[in-house]
Chains A and B, each alone.
Chain A
């Protein structure tokens, strides 16, 4: 137990031990969080996977703990398959709209905002990102209600029949904005937009100014530079952002429950199956769908270099 310092107490002896075996200290530090995540989180994911291979007895409603693929086969019956297609379509639409709305904000913040404006843009994106999810959804319930501000504004500027015409569109329309797919879509875009802006802004900040100058020197005008230089270099950020918007839309069940038509999304299916229906195996199988979709998505994103922008 001889070290550089004479041992004075238990703490010093331990220090000497850590000094001689640095890996021991690292292992001691990492053990508690690793145990927690390993047992609580990975253990739960394993339980989810396990449950999805069980099935439910149709007559007694009791879970049969035997391995079967029957539950996964149930995902393919039309009413369940429709839920999956509907959710993925919504996730794709939300992602595309987020890219379009996020771009000017991210571009301005990354390349034009200076000093105080930089802070304004940073907080301007950060505060909505972190402020209460439920409060944000609630705000939209007020906005989209039939007697709410949008109807009032539309009638005020004499566009009441335009709103009526939009709501009359089959499938995406409805009785009011708050009971239509348009409403669901708007709220999804609103709530996930900051998740798109931040990685986009990070990747735009990394586009070297010299490249833009080179592009200009070679005779490219604004639009050409944008398409051939900025966009390819910003793509990893866009993909990183799309991972969030896509994944979060796939798994959400509160927004379509509060604002939208009564037709289910994956999240609602999972929630109602595990709750009132008590069919945990099918709920688990439904929950595995977004995991699989996201794994494929992540594999593609990784190939395109999206993780450098995170």
Chain B
């Protein structure tokens, strides 16, 4: 499905400019982490230094938010893995009443703006008188992570087809043995990809979190506070690089795990 004609020059330039527009801003973060200027965002940096990495390492207010973010991301993506896979398994099995409603319900938490999910949960906590805790954050994160796992798993289930499962049954395996020895190995890389994307999404999430965290601080919330009231600007840059890497690597890994199919991970954030 390609045009044979050479692309018009204007189109090529437009496409390249578009890609550059998407990538250049992020590179700037890396430069600013080395600047000697810590009171403004002066460009070009007056000098370069690596001391901010050590300063960031020794700042004690960074570690607790980092631990909280890692814990929340781990629990949320774990829960999303179980719920998303179950949902995909059911949807792949049969057409049943209310199927379209359920697929809509799964997508809704990321289709609607985060502020609605956040404000809804906040309202629910107010109505039910639930105090803020790690679990109120997890509640929100797991909800919007389900769809990420679901999208990855449902595509793989579709490819797996019914014949493999029937063959397994014909050979005398029960449902649990089929799950353990046939479904799981086939699903493995798709689940790993989905789990990593969910982890990245949760680790980085800030909008829903601001509504469900109360006084707690995750790493993105810590960063948000530094953005509003900057203290040592290059330290924020160092943290930004850490957050960027912690989301970038899982995404890249997820891509390589699932590429080469129509189901390449990440198509539907």
Contacts and interface: CB of A to CB of B under 8 A. Distances in A.
Contacts of B84: 33
B121 interface: yes
Contacts of B201: 130
B228 A194 contact: no
The A interface, classified by DSSP as helix, strand, loop or mixed, is: helix
B174 to A, nearest CB: 4
B113 A124 contact: no
Given A127-B248, A135-B240, 7 more contacts: A14-B175, A33-B106, A33-B146, A127-B23, A212-B3, A251-B207, A280-B122
A253 B91 CA distance: 35
Contact of A290 (B89, B116, B174, B228): B116
Given A138-B227, A254-B206, A130 B40 contact: no
B227 to A, nearest CB: 5
B87 A251 contact: no
A45 B108 CA distance: 11
Nearest to B175: A15
Interface of B: 1-3, 7-8, 10-15, 17-19, 21-23, 25-26, 28-29, 32, 40-44, 82-84, 86-87, 89-91, 93-94, 96, 102, 105-106, 108-109, 111-117, 119-124, 126-128, 139, 142-143, 146, 169, 172, 174-177, 197, 200-201, 204-207, 210-211, 220, 223-224, 227-228, 236, 240, 243-244, 247-248, 251-252, 255, 259, 264, 266-269
A152 B47 CA distance: 16
B175 A44 contact: no
A247 to B, nearest CB: 6
A236 interface: no
Contacts, number: 294
A77 interface: no
Interface stretch (A20-28, A68-76, A157-165): A20-28
B172 to A, nearest CB: 6
Query: Which 10 residue pairs of A and B lie closest in terms of their CB atoms, listed nearest first?
Result: A251-B113, A104-B14, A108-B15, A44-B120, A105-B18, A15-B174, A29-B90, A30-B90, A47-B124, A145-B41
A170 interface: no
Contacts of B111: 243, 247
B123 A50 contact: yes
A264 B12 CA distance: 39
A121 B94 contact: no
A32 B124 contact: no
A187 to B, nearest CB: 9
A291 B26 contact: no
Contacts of B146: 33, 36-37
A257 B224 CA distance: 10
A142 B26 contact: no
Nearest to B173: A15
Contacts of A15: 169, 174-176
B22 to A, nearest CB: 4
A126 B15 contact: no
B204 A267 contact: no
A157 B257 CA distance: 46
A287 B133 CA distance: 23
Given A18-B175, A143-B25, A138 B236 contact: yes
A209 B86 contact: no
6 contacts: A44-B123, A47-B120, A104-B18, A132-B247, A274-B119, A283-B119
Nearest to A209: B1
A174 to B, nearest CB: 16
A135 B94 contact: no
Nearest to A243: B111
B15 A51 contact: no
A59 B248 CA distance: 50
A134 B205 CA distance: 8
Given A14-B175, A222-B8, A287-B119, A33 B86 contact: yes
